[in-house]
Amino acid sequence: MVPPEPGKVRFHDLDLPTELLHAVADLGFRYCTPIQAEVLPAAIAGRDIAGRAQTGTGKTAAFLLAALTRLLRAPRSDPRPGRPRALVLAPTRELAAQIERDARALGAHAPLSTLAVIGGSDLNRQRAALERAPTDLLIATPGRLLDLRERGNLRLDGVEILVIDEADRMLDMGFIPDVRRIVYSTPPRERRQTMFFSATLTELVLRLAEHWTRDPLRVNIEPERVAAEQISQIAYVVTAAEKFPLLCHMLRSGAAGRTLIFVNRRDTAERLTEALRRAGIVAGLLSGALSQAQRDRSLEEFRAGRLSALVATDVASRGLHVEGIATVVNFNLPLDPEDYVHRIGRTGRAGARGTAVTFASEDESFYLPPIEEFLGHALTYRHPEPAWLITEGLPEFRDAPRARPNADRRGRPTRRGARR
């Protein structure tokens, strides 16, 4: 029995089915996060949700528990395959795969079927899975979902619950036209429950939420900068040429532990991974240029500890949950301050301490003031010891030059031209 605590909501205080409470106990969940406490009662009752919430707030468990509860309590009326009752849309393969893992864990004791259909994976296998048996909960990336729908393997006119996750990322990646087609293939908003989440609330995102939801409960959960209090944030003042030897020193010393390294470009990720391997460091690669099988293999090896370091583009900054990431390194500074927060949020999770290291070189220094303004505090700046910058015995690595970005009206760098 979980003891009551002032100001906290226990999962068994909510109207959750026994099957889900067993899974919650198995996972060691005790008290709801703020978004879970706010969203679950209304969502279980069938109300639409529209809110600002980032990864790391517990929103995935919130919408999954609500959806699974409603599916368990309403019997399936259409037994035909290829007609999901609940649909979750996610912008990236990694996030969709993570949502599927979470759904299977939360639904471990429930007689419900869960399936993910994502690009880069075996299309014929996904078609066969859809045709083999009815699907209760479908998690999908937009492109693959439309492909399966156009091939006749999937119908969306029976969707009772629609979840649109990370709408701002959908917008950044150009998926909104596809998402519109998907939304209008489901029943009208009056005949479905819609849960809509976005890390930022731009004018366009707000307009989409207004069109796709009906009298929603509006939630506004503080971004990950709160969780970042658990993370020591250090910026090393270096030249562009000193980044690689400093990174090698960090990884070779063992002090960094399991390390996730962010760069901004796919070609940089490939060249940096190869250079680290030539330096004798067991490093993996994660970028949008890889097939889904390659991305899954890199993540599994990183999770299992067979890789001490993983070099990634921002494809890994949201939705990536790997236990025990001790250090996040910003080898390149992100173009957007919120991406900095998403990146460093891969460490220091679930109350653990973490370290975020940023390489502050002369050609990227103009990205630092907007990041510090967004954080509300300055980073801790340090100069590396000369012994950490020795290049003898290291392979050559040269980072791509960075042109000064276009700026918005407030002088902040814009995101135009980012490659992931």
Least confident of 189-198, 246-255, 399-408, 410-419: 410-419
| DSSP H or E run through 89 | strand 86-89
Q: What is the DSSP letter of 274?
A: H
pLDDT for the residue 347: 87
pLDDT(146) > 60: yes
Q: Which carries the bigger pLDDT value, residue 122 or residue 416? A: 122
Alpha helices, H only, 254-349: 266-278, 292-303, 337-344
Give the right CATH number for 11-220 from 3.30.230.10, 3.40.50.300, 3.30.465.10, 3.40.50.10800.
3.40.50.300
- Across the chain, mean pLDDT equals 88
311-370: pLDDT as tens digits? 999 876 666 677 789 999 999 999 888 788 888 988 876 567 899 999 999 888 889 999
Q: Would you state the pLDDT for residue 401?
A: 57
Q: Which of 348-384 are b and which e, b meaning 16 or more Cβ less than 10 Å from the residue's Cβ?
A: bbeeeebbbbbbbbeebebbbebbbeebeeebeeeeb
Q: Provide the residue ranges of all domains of the chain, joining segments of one domain with +.
A: 11-220, 227-389
Q: Residue 176 pLDDT > 50, yes or no?
A: yes
pLDDT of residue 402: 56
Beta carbons within 8 Å of 238's beta carbon, 6+ residues apart: 246, 359, 360, 361, 384, 389
Nearest CA-CA partner of 185 in 214, 158, 216: 158
The pLDDT score that the predictor gives to residue 223 is 54
Superfamily of domain 227-389: P-loop containing nucleotide triphosphate hydrolases (3.40.50.300)
User: Cα–Cα–Cα angle for 141, 147, 149, nearest 5°?
Assistant: 100
Look at 255-269, 291-305, 370-384 and tell me which has the smallest mean pLDDT.
Answer: 291-305
Given a cut of 60, whether residue 81 has pLDDT beyond it is yes
Query: What six digits make up the tokens of 139?
Result: 């998690």
Confidence at 400, pLDDT banded by 50, 70, 90: low
Tell me the whole-structure pTM to 2 decimals: 0.69
Q: How far apart are CA 46 and CA 44, in angstroms?
A: 5
Q: Is-same-fold flag (11-220; 227-389)?
A: yes
